[in-house]
Amino acid sequence: MIDTIFISHAHKDEEYAENLVNLIKVFKLDAEIICSSYAGHNVPADENIYDFLKGKLKGNVWVIYLLSENYYKSAACLNEMGATWIQNKQYSTFLTPNFDFIELKGAIDPSKNAYRLDNKNKLNDFKGSIIEQFSTSVNDNIWESVRDEVIKNVNAKAKLELQENSKAKIMVESVSKHEEEGKINVALRLINNYPYKINFTFFKLILKDEKGTSFVIEQEPTNLHAFHEESKIVILPLGLEGSQFSASRMKESEVQGLKFIQSLK
């Protein structure tokens, strides 16, 4: 029987880790949950963290790797991964929302199914795994309430993270008059530093001229993409739709609400 659940995660991902712990706590398991960023489940103040973990890993431990770009940038996390892998501990992997399966590396078996913190079906699969591992049960109403709250929290965190650390951007290069009256040409630079092709699915364009007149439009493009390490310019002809915005006097530009997905082709 598993006596310890160890959440291996990067310090910068503590909000994700705390939500994962809250999900596990729904089951009221006898197993001890160790999560260094969660009060009550962290390493005791008077303990050496490495000695403490070394002692715990001697038992029947289920290691859960909470993987992200932050994780792979952390020497401490990679040491944890190596130590638990060498001891052949049972493990599962969770992917944070802005981390893709294609980015898995290290001791993790890429053929092994991974869970996602932002996916209802994957969390339900995790629920089934816990029930099987511990021969336990859970009230479905309580589970669904906590699960949905976790997804809400995780998505909010992921949105902020994406805005702060996104490897994909759309920038306004220039704005000019279109040959057709009532239209403008907007030259956008698409930048993709992810290790795969992405499709841009939504963005909000805000332009302002010297007189303070604004032009705001939301776009849901169907064929706007960029390959890995690509930086390219595309020109979009856009209708002014009654706006008095002057392209020749454009002063400020901004792209907000950028959304994109990994392309399967």
* Catalytic center residues: 80
Distance CA 239, CA 252 (A): 18
pLDDT digits (tens, 9 = 90+) for 216-261: 999 999 999 999 999 999 999 999 988 999 999 999 999 988 889 8
pLDDT digits (tens, 9 = 90+) for 112-138: 788 999 999 999 999 999 999 999 999
pLDDT at 116: 93
Question: By the 8 A CB rule, do 61 and 188 touch?
Answer: no
Residue type, 30: D
> What are residue 92's DSSP bridge partners?
64
Residue type, 262: Q
pLDDT at 207: 95
pLDDT at 103: 73
* Domains of the chain with bracketed CATH: 4-164 (3.40.50.10140), 168-262 (2.60.40.1620)
Q: What is the pLDDT along the chain (265 residues), one digit of tens a residue?
A: 898 999 999 999 999 999 999 999 999 999 999 998 888 888 776 777 677 777 777 788 999 999 998 999 998 888 888 877 777 778 899 999 888 877 777 667 666 788 999 999 999 999 999 999 999 999 999 999 999 999 999 999 987 887 677 788 999 999 999 998 899 999 999 999 888 899 999 999 999 999 999 999 999 999 999 999 999 999 999 999 889 999 999 999 999 888 898 886 6
pLDDT at 162: 72
